[in-house]
Amino acid sequence: MLDHRLPFEAALSGIEVELAPCESELIRLSEALDRVLAQDVVWSEGMIPAGHRLTASDITLLATNGHQKSVAVVRRPRVGVLATGDELVPPGTPLSYGQIPNSSTPLVSACVRSWGGQPLSLGVAADRMESLRECLNLGQALSVDLIVTVGGTGRGDRDFLRPLLRTEGTIMFDGVAIRGGQTTIFGRYRGCPLFALPGTPSACRLTLEEFVRPAVLRLGGHPTAPVTVPARVAEGFRARPLLSFEWARVTRDEAGFQAHRLRGPGVGIWTSMIRANALLVVPPDVSEVKAGDVLEAQLLDAAA
């Protein structure tokens, strides 16, 4: 059992212990050649080393190996996606007072898909314990390898996830020392690993990247380390005494990489997320970042 409000690395190492890659499956060579293979990992030893992420280049070798009829790859992880909240309605439907479109399910699904997982919707849970339990049980019925829920990680009267995990699961950590992602929970529901992410879009996207991404990659047999580059910060800013990830746009010039932090008031955070191609990592012991300082930038959407 891990401590409350873990530092990030400890939280991740906990996850790594908990999650082993999915079992491998044999797929027919003809099917393998038709699939977009960039997201599959070869499991067996042979011409292509075990653990190798298949790319277009490998197709030639697979295709020309005349006597081979199938190829063993790690099965794609099945990830149950659950949004929570009475106020959520499907995107595109007219809104009544107090309603908001459910953006969590499409967001989590798109992320999971881009990391090689297979997203499966568990629906939208209403703010009742029984509704939440029904949705989570659907995940069990669908044999998912991981559940990701969004919202309901606060400590209000209508946040039922924590009490439910306490009675029918385990909580591995409850809260992390990351700005914006503080209320992230990792546990198990009836044996199935579960991440509960905060509901605000930027915190959700951030914790998806920092926690769910390595978990889905690990389940899929991929390396989990993000691609990072050292980047000079273009304009200085004040930092808070908590590990922070800043949406940034990294460009390359003669002298190396330069990072422009993207921030805007209010709705501007969406524009920041959309324009960002990296997350700038600000360690908790840094209180001020000056122009020209070098920080690590995690590249988004980059292959390892």
Note the residues at the interface with a copy of itself (CB under 8 A): 29-30, 33-34, 36-38, 48, 52, 55-66, 68-69, 90-95, 100-103, 106-107, 109-111, 113-114, 201, 204-205, 208, 229, 252, 270, 273-274, 276, 300-303
Minimum CB separation from a copy of itself for residue 64, in Å? 5
If the CB atoms of residues 251 and 287 are measured against a copy of itself, the closer one turns out to be: 251
Least distance CB 171 / a copy of itself (angstroms): 27
Residue 59 DSSP SS3 = helix
Alpha helices in the chain (DSSP H): 8-18, 29-34, 56-64, 104-114, 129-141, 161-168, 201-207, 213-219, 268-275
Nearer to a copy of itself, 11 or 54 (CB): 54
Q: Which residues sit opposite 297 in a β-bridge?
A: 229, 280
Cα torsion angle, 87, 90, 91, 96, sign: negative
Terminal-residue alpha carbon distance, the chain:
30
Task: For the CB of residue 229, give the shortest distance to a copy of itself in the complex, in Å.
Answer: 8
Q: What is the CA radius of gyration of the chain?
A: 21
Residue 114 C-beta: closest distance to a copy of itself, Å = 6
Helices 129-141 + 161-168 axis angle, to 10: 60
From residue 245, alpha-carbon distances to 2, 8, 192, 272 in Å are: 23, 12, 28, 12
Q: Which is nearer to a copy of itself, 103 or 131 (CB)?
A: 103
Tell me how many degrees the CA angle 122-247-10 measures, rounded to the nearest 5. 65
Q: How far is the CB of 128 from a copy of itself (least distance, A)?
A: 24
Helix (H, G, I), strand (E, B) or coil at 196: strand
Between the CA of residue 168 and those of 137, 165, 198, what are the distances in Å?
11, 5, 21
Q: Which is nearer to a copy of itself, 42 or 74 (CB)?
A: 42
Q: Residue 116 in contact with residue 186, Cβ under 8 Å?
A: no
Q: Which is nearer to a copy of itself, 72 or 273 (CB)?
A: 273
Q: Which phi and psi (to 5°) does residue 89 adopt?
A: -130, 160
| Cβ closest to a copy of itself, residue 14 vs residue 51 | 51
Pick the closer one to a copy of itself by CB: 128 or 263.
263
Task: Tell me how far, at minimum, the Cβ of 165 lies from a copy of itself, in Å.
Answer: 26
Residue with smaller CB distance to a copy of itself, 90 or 154: 90
**Shortest separation between residue 113's beta carbon and a copy of itself, angstroms:** 5
247 vs 297: CA distance, rounded Å: 10
- C-beta of 251: minimal distance to a copy of itself in Å? 12
